Structure 1
């Protein structure tokens, strides 16, 4: 869910949120659309759907691509300050923002778990790191996200702003909408952000402990997993960075702003929530870094397997 509020300011578009959102969404669209379209094409055609991390990355790229395709509607609205496309068109961008945010959170978590298992438990984890299990996990995420999108979409209807005599989208919600939306926000923040972040943090700690283990040479780990030390560390740092920049600040600010809207807090966190929402939107531009570090390990592992096969044949 993604709500802004016009109660903070006049009917004009002079408030900084309008040019900020317009500029941010233009940047994310111009950068994220070609990056994710190319990443999706590259993952499918160059690597194929024949390994677990590629399956997770393809689903992540698809989620990012759907979000970036919905951005032109947001750009037009915040550039003009009024909505003229009807209720259904208003529901789509707001819903896809939530779909992207929480599906990305889960797919990034799956990638972290898979890489951690590949390094820390390379042999014992093989029965669980299969194509069928990875596809099943992705389908569960999509089913849950689609189920979530129904109440989110119903909470993102266009509405008439009688003070300014214009239709609004993404903002100017009623007190009842805020109450229902706040309950949804708290639940999905716990399930879709806090728990996945805890898992990623745990995976990072396990990786660090493994890399410090002197009883097993890193060359042996590299041979088994196709991962080297620098790529392992960078992948997990990128995952933590995305959470630290895109996911956590937005949800903290959004919950604080929701508490203000429900009259539980006096301070208005609207400006903070506006800035952090822009940061949350940039996750689709940062995710290609995950594709890079993960796909490099897949390519290296595949090259090692092909070399071993040629050696055995000769």
Structure 2
């Protein structure tokens, strides 16, 4: 394993990834079960959240090998396995950022343009959007996977989980790193604009509780989204271009925490999250 770090930090990384795994696995598994069992997938919001939970679960299943590597300093699997597990992390950053933005835009349309957006906020459009997101993620994997494979020929396999700094990557890798930063900043901007528009709309409707229910929950959704972008997604996207490879692991740990925060979105975003979908449908009819 890379000797530029002391055993202490490596054990700390193992503890962090282990803790995130212990929390993230049951939280997302239970959330996914509730979303599928108690909420109809006819809602665009629920569809985005189901796919967000799936993205987080794909990330969490890679944590046991991260814990093993940082705890023991050895890698028992092949370099291809390193590639796959590294890609799960990068895919989670991109897919989670996009699905969270979709949730923000969906809430924006529901609050600011409730009538005019009905034809847009359909299950059919949501599934099409979800399919495009996963297709986009897979397409990006092709050049990025080639860069990772090339890097592993020049570095020890035990460093395979780390983002390579710009000076240590080939040009295609640097381009993908810049692309990731642009993507995250663009999505963050969309979330900021959505938050401002919804906040202004709710302020104008302060005394009209019939039109917008659970105003506090609505704003908590946007607050959680901004927290995840500014704490989890943005630092690692900037760090990959500015920090040396062996110093990026703390930001990777921080980014991984997003899979523990996402379940809070499900609670705040869906009315009557713990109720059966029949009860929710009945409440909507009334």
TM-score clears 0.5: yes
List per-residue Cα deviations over 1:271-307 (Å, max 9, x = no partner): 3x33222110111111001111012367699857524
Aligned to 1:64: 56
Q: How many residues align?
A: 283
Distance 1:300 1:198, change over 3 A: farther
Q: Which runs of 5+ in 1 are unaligned?
A: 258-267
Structure-1 separation of matches of 2:16 and 2:57: 16
Structure-1 separation of matches of 2:198 and 2:62: 37
2:49–2:99: 8 Å Cα contact kept in structure 1?
yes
Superposition RMSD in Å? 2.8
Q: TM-score, normalised by structure 2?
A: 0.89
Is residue 204 of structure 2 the alignment partner of residue 213 of structure 1?
yes
Counterparts of 1:106-121 in structure 2, within 5 Å, are 106-121=98-113
Aligned to 2:34: 42
List per-residue Cα deviations over 1:106-139 (Å, max 9, x = no partner): 0000000001110110000001001110100111
1:98–1:149: 8 Å Cα contact kept in structure 2?
no
Structure-1 separation of matches of 2:11 and 2:223: 31
Give the greater-gyration-radius structure (CA).
Answer: 1
Structure-1 separation of matches of 2:70 and 2:57: 21
1:109–1:200: 8 Å Cα contact kept in structure 2?
yes
Structure-2 separation of matches of 1:238 and 1:170: 27
Aligned to 1:306: 282
Structure-1 separation of matches of 2:29 and 2:266: 12
Q: Which runs of 5+ in 2 are unaligned?
A: none
Moved over 4 A (4+): 171-176, 297-305
* C-alpha displacement of 1:220: 2.4
* C-alpha displacement of 1:167: 5.7
Counterparts of 1:138-217 in structure 2, within 5 Å, are 138-157=130-149, 159=152, 168-171=159-162, 177-191=169-183, 193-214=184-205, 217=207
Aligned to 2:261: 286
> Which one of the candidate residues 179, 199, 215 is aligned to 1:229?
215
Q: TM-score, normalised by structure 1?
A: 0.81
Q: Please, which moves more after superposition, 182-191 or 202-211?
A: 182-191
* C-alpha displacement of 1:160: 6.3
* C-alpha displacement of 1:176: 6.2
Distance 1:307 1:180, change over 3 A: closer
